[in-house]
Chains A and B, each alone.
Chain A
Amino acid sequence: MSTAPVEEAKSPFIRLRGVSKAYRRGDIVIPVLEEVNIDIEAGAFEAFMGPSGSGKSTLLNLLSGLDRPTTGVVEVGGRDLARMRDKELADWRAGHVGFVFQLYNLLPVLTAAENVELPLLLTPLSRAERREHVAAALEVVGLGHRMSHRPPQMSGGEQQRVAIARAIVTDPDLLIADEPTGDLDRKSAEQVLDLFEVLHHELRKTLVMVTHDPHAAERADLVRHLEKGVLQ
């Protein structure tokens, strides 16, 4: 009887098993996450909520390959991130993950188009192909007309949309959003969340978001709560 292929087909896109994370400050060990087990299916839109210091961002860093767990297994798309070397992780992130940060993290010296183009510099695409991808990504976020504008010339909402365009320009499997509406007014926040829904429903991206905002969390398929590093 061959059950293995059936189990493989059912395995989640993101799988965390017994994940703990602690930071060391001198002699003091500060536990941040404890024995976290999570499964997230491909194409899901999940939100993590919890008070400050509950370990939300740490969890996001672990499943996006920005950090490694102290113990446990973090598997994304069948790859065990904890076992990958820094260079492998960098390559993996470049090909599979798009990031949206609370403060947008756009380079102020570059135009919107150049910011969106940054991740494409790591691909073998030609300049013309990169330009096409950038234009398409900016059209998706409704900013095709602001390509040559620099971040300081744009509103917070527009900057966050440029950041989303940058996150999706390489067509990653996983989108990581860390407080994406935390620095925006309500209207801009709604626009950003609308975009997330488009990415989730129409482009079938797996979206993991950390937020303090219950209104934002409502848009997710599933909301999980963290409390003092423990999944509730």
Chain B
Amino acid sequence: MTFGRLVWRDLLRNPLRLALTVLAGAVGVMAFIFLRTVVDLFYMSAESAQADRLFTRAKASITGDLPLSYLSRISAVPGVDDITFYGFFGGRYGESQRDFFGSAFVDPPSFMRVFDELVVAPRQVAAFQEDPCGALIGKDLAKRYGWKAGDRVTLKGTLYPGEWTFNVRGIYDVRTGTLDTNSLFFGFRCLNEKLPDERKDRVGAFMIRVEDPSRSAAVASAVDAMFANSPYPTRTESERAATLGFISMLSAIITAVQVVATVILLIILLVIGNTLAMSVRERTRDLSTLRAMGFKSGRVVMLVLFESLAIGLASAGLGVLIAPLLIRGFIAAVGSQLGVPSDFMRESTLVLGALAALGVALLAGAIPAVRAVRIPVAEGLRKVA
């Protein structure tokens, strides 16, 4: 027999209790990883933001719009390499909430230049640029609805009333960057020509590519200074800052998710701690017998801590195995609304979940372990479980 075998045998003393504890721990680990992944999803686009791109929007609000005429003026600012624009369309493909996905108007030629992380077949790029109502759709969106080049898609406008029909001219993928593969982009002309005069020639934001990323701040200042005293002052920031600014509107939700994730760790702590406390209490006489035989307190503490660690390991292993399935299911259900890739899962989050479970398990075992050796041996020997 070895010390490890003693730990193992003690663990199996009450198999049902052990199984339920591991299961409870695994559910906790799974929930923790799931919630952390939800937070990761929010920050995903910010982390992959391009260093050489700036984002110019209305200073008053992120939902405000800007005159299209700004395009040429911004283009003339020293340091600006290229520029494009876009506007949120907010179309809905069906009646259900699940049929909502990202849709925006763009200027096809400049959009393809500035967002060069887009991967589209050259023939489809040409078709997209030639057709005023041509649309590019992300590969996950296409897969979801079975759309292909040549199909016609009609969306109900929420910001632009009416029904709007677009011709699918291409399917895009992304190499990296802030764009997801669950959106639809269509040509600005298709929308602009049908708008009343007071809504024509207005865009949501400009995306600027700078010649030298180290001069981004100077270019941003120059752009904002140019429109500072105009009716539509601008706010220019890096793509990352802009994305984080957008995320900050959801900060309360993100904070709540993070708090719940932390609470879940606390629950794992209590579940494992409770099991170990019961187990140690039941074994007070056995542990005192070991101490009477000459086992030092440190060894008895290690015995309990190893049991705790084993429970933590089993919980972490099971949780890490199940969590990706849950996340895949979640993304399949709502991923298109969030605009995230279907295979999104960070290994670092899995590792964090596993390490958190192990840390919490050790912490949970510490109190029962110390209590087990604080009781005098002679007193412990008299205890009957």
Whether chain B is bound by chain A comes out as: yes
Tell me the smallest distance from the CB of A126 to a CB of chain B, in Å.
12
List residues of chain A with CB within 8 A of the CB of B3.
121
- B282-298 contact mask (Cβ, 8 Å, vs A): 1 or 0: 00011001111111110
B6 close to chain A: CB less than 8 A? yes
B23 close to chain A: CB less than 8 A? no
Question: Are A109 and B296 touching (Cβ within 8 A)?
Answer: no
User: What number of B residues sit within 8 Å (CB to CB) of A?
Assistant: 25
A40 close to chain B: CB less than 8 A? no
The CA of A67 and the CA of B291, in the complex, are separated in Å by: 12
Question: Are A66 and B285 touching (Cβ within 8 A)?
Answer: no
List residues of chain A with CB within 8 A of the CB of B378.
57-58, 61, 66-67
B1 close to chain A: CB less than 8 A? yes
List residues of chain A with CB within 8 A of the CB of B291.
90
The CA of A91 and the CA of B286, in the complex, are separated in Å by: 18
The CA of A109 and the CA of B307, in the complex, are separated in Å by: 14
| Most chain A Cβ neighbours within 10 Å, of B291, B292, B294, B297 | B294
| Most chain B Cβ neighbours within 10 Å, of A58, A105, A113 | A105
Contact of A117 among B1, B285, B377, B384 (CB under 8 A): B1
A93 close to chain B: CB less than 8 A? yes
B13 close to chain A: CB less than 8 A? yes
Contact of B13 among A61, A64, A109 (CB under 8 A): A109
List residues of chain B with CB within 8 A of the CB of A195.
none
Question: Are B296 and A90 touching (Cβ within 8 A)?
Answer: yes
Question: Are A118 and B290 touching (Cβ within 8 A)?
Answer: yes
Given known pairs A67-B378, A114-B1, the reply for A90 and B294 (CB within 8 Å) is yes
Given known pairs A67-B376, A101-B381, A121-B1, the reply for A110 and B292 (CB within 8 Å) is no
| Chain A residue, CB-CB nearest to B296 | A90
28 contacts between A and B (CB under 8 A): A57-B378, A64-B292, A66-B378, A66-B381, A87-B296, A90-B291, A90-B295, A90-B296, A92-B294, A99-B292, A99-B293, A101-B289, A105-B285, A107-B289, A109-B10, A109-B13, A110-B1, A113-B1, A114-B9, A118-B1, A118-B6, A118-B293, A119-B293, A119-B294, A121-B2, A122-B293, A127-B2, A130-B1
